Structure 1
Amino acid sequence: MLKKFTWGHGVALALGLFIIFILSMIFYFTSTWKNSELITDDYYEAELAYQDVIDAKALAGALPEKPEYVQDQSGIRVIFPKDYNNSNTQFTIDLHRAEDQKLDVIKEMDLDSRNSLFIPAAVLAKGNYVLRVLWTRADKKYQLDYDLIW
């Protein structure tokens, strides 16, 4: 015996389909979320000292010759002007990956014979990075930021 399809059945069916739709959207979006972390663990203390970063970027922006980066299959090379050397300057590379803090590369480095800093391709994963080049010369801090895709 077959029952008639009434408006009550239609409301129940529509409500059931709506609940299934909402649940499927929740499962879909939560499964595609990426890992997003704070840049540093002591975020608020770093925020209080952010004026130092602003000053370092302003000093670097005012330089007549700025370091430049070049990337190829072997890695990333940051080339400094000829008047920089290891005896008068300290260098730090901060290669920041927003999606995963484990892929960050933060390292103090020395210039090589080509007057550059080199990050080999072996330590890089495909994706977007922010390359922060920090150096201290004559007790002044400098910083340049480059967005790059590896």
Structure 2
Amino acid sequence: MKAESASENIAKEDLLKDLLLLVHETFEGSPEDGSAYLDRGTGVFSTVSGLGSGEVSADLNGTSIVAHVEHLKFYLDRLVEFIEGRTEPVNWDQSWLIDTVDDQEWEVLKAGLRKSYENVLRCFAEVPVWDQDKIGEAMAIIAHSAYHLGAIRQMAKAVRPQDKGKRQD
């Protein structure tokens, strides 16, 4: 495939619009008119909002919903740091240290995840030049977050059997 010339580059505004749309949909759910995901209207926040600390702390094959939420928050924070210039390596094992919470800790973690998500939106909006590294990091945030959305949604079905057959499309 032939490389594009400079005049055929993607406009920053177009890239940003699509990145923000996918991040928004991953965390807040899709708009009414379509979805990048099979289950319309579902995102990380709506998936975890109705779950209690006991449900998210349940051990499901060696992990828990809260472990995925903490890892996702940690990941968002580190990738924003990389987009903003961080070069030091990350100890990713630190992102899996929490696997149970009480009610108060669960509320704090959900608020922290929302703050990390909002920080991603801010960071993306403030990127002056979208070079290959920054585009790759933004795409990694979307792909990684989508993976954890799927994992969390499947685990939520295990802790809430009444939700097993529900789909929204």
Greater strand share, structure number: 1
More helix by share: 2
TM-score of the superposed pair, with normalisation by structure 1: 0.29
| Higher alpha-carbon Rg | 1
In the superposition, the TM-score normalised over structure 2's length comes to: 0.27
